[in-house]
Amino acid sequence: MLLINCPCCGPRDEFEFRCGGQAHITRPEPPEAVSDKQWGDYLFTRVNPKGLSLERWVHAAGCRQWFNVARDTVTHEIRAVYPMGEGAPSLTTGAAQ
């Protein structure tokens, strides 16, 4: 069970949220110059880290705002919550193995 600190609503039960997967994926441009490999990577290839993971979440049953979460996929510890559009905070990758 996660307690997620929504930037608008404060700490809430994970059941109110939805995880939108990997954060900081940039759409390759310009379209006419994008190869099939780049496009496939953009759509499908994911980092899927064991340890520190940067993810987008939405407070679906609350303020419905999107934000970013830095979370450990082994311990489920939430290391940071930061706004959309902001770069990833500098965190050491946890002791995940």
Partner 1 sequence: MTKYSAFKVFLEGLGGQQGWSPAWRSPQPKRRYDVIIIGGGGHGLATAYYLAKVHGVRNVAVLERGWLGGGNTGRNTTVIRSNYYYPASARLYDFSLKLYEGLSRELNYNVMFSQRGMVMVAHSRHDLEGAQRWVGAMQLNGVDAEMISADEVKRRLPVLDASPGARYPIWGGFMQKRAGTARHDAVAWGYARAADALGVDIIQNCEVRGFLKNQTGRVTGVETNLGVIETDKVGMAVAGHSSVMAQLAGFELPITSYALQAFVSEPLKPVIDTVMLSLATGLYISQSDKGGLVFGGALDHYASYAQRGNSPTIRQVAGALADQMPSLGRVRLARHWAGIVDVVQDSSPILGETPTPGVYINCGWGTGGFKAIPAGGYLLAHHLATGQAHDIAAPFGLNRFFTGALIDEAAASGIAH
Q: Which positions from 1 through 20 interact with partner 1, judged by CB under 8 A?
A: 1, 13-15, 18-19
Which CB atom, from 65 or from 73, has the smaller least distance to partner 1? 73
Give least dist CB 40 to partner 1, A.
Answer: 4
Residue 72, phi-psi category: left (phi > 0), alpha (psi -120 to 50), beta (remainder): beta
**Terminal alpha carbon distance of the chain:** 21
Of 11, 47, 87, 90, the residue at the interface with partner 1 (CB under 8 A) is 47
Going by C-beta distance under 8 Å and a sequence separation of 6 or more, which residues neighbour residue 57?
4, 17, 18, 19, 20, 66, 67, 68, 69
Of 8, 28, 45, 88, the residue at the interface with partner 1 (CB under 8 A) is 45
Interaction of residue 50 with partner 1, rule CB under 8 A? yes
Interaction of residue 92 with partner 1, rule CB under 8 A? no
Distance CA 93, CA 90 (A): 9
Helix (H, G, I), strand (E, B) or coil at 43: helix
Footprint on this chain of partner 1 (rule: CB under 8 A) = 1, 13-15, 18-19, 21-22, 36-37, 39-41, 43-50, 53, 55, 71, 73-76, 96
